[in-house]
Amino acid sequence: MILDLFKLDGKVAIVTGANTGLGQGMAVALAQAGAKVVGVARRSCEDTRKLIERDGGCFTEVIADLSSMEVIPLIINGALDAYGRVDILVNNAGIIKREDAIDFSEENWDSVIQVNEKMVFFLSQAFAKQLIKQNEGGKIINVCSMLSYQGGIRVPSYTASKSAVMGLTKAMANEWAQYNINVNAIAPGYMATNNTAQLRADSDRSEAIIDRIPAGRWGTPDDMKGAVVYLASDASSYVNGFTIAVDGGWLGR
């Protein structure tokens, strides 16, 4: 039956930035679809654990600061130690720095590129190596942005990183499809998360954004659930290198 293709029973999913916001929503969705979830974050994922275990799901956390490349083995080995295998990676964690482009500092540039772009590639690389060892394929899901398509204002490093992630999604898909590894991405629209707190606090800017969204509202973590389960499941086995926009119609406006 078609709905069976969306089941994730027996799969192990790593989700970065799983302690809050979109990462938490996607982690819960994957668990509800049957996956065992490894949540990665700088801080405790206890709230995510409670939501998953409340529904009878399995959850393990790995505390890791993605500003350091040294945590990559910790993340992969944490999943293997807990569940013996990996199947799904959701590269959700990201940071944003706001500053006029004319004054944008090298520190703000480097910190965003490290977490949003460099870590995404090298964690995916380590994950793909493990999938190749297992020889059963797997799924990598990157989180892009509306600024993978547009320039934005006062966020040059974020725009650069999210544009790069869309390109990397295609590049990794081209090389790893031969191993039955699907690499795709989700581009959230304007979501009610910590990253957009400043925008939502500015009533004029928030109203202007909502006026352009055909759905007439900010997105929520729940809006990401269907897309992430689809891309993590066998239902998307012939989807490679594509970015799905979950944006309430923003890009179509």
- Give the active site residues: 158
Alpha helices per DSSP H over 135-189: 156-176
Pair 176, 128: CB distance under 8 Å: yes
Name every residue whose Cβ is closer than 8 Å to that of residue 12 and which is 6 or more positions away in sequence.
35, 36, 37, 38, 79, 82, 83, 84, 85, 86, 87, 88
Pair 139, 88: CB distance under 8 Å: yes
Three-state DSSP at 130 gives: helix
Three-state DSSP at 93 gives: coil
Smallest CA-to-CA distance from 73 within 60, 84, 83, 62 is with: 62
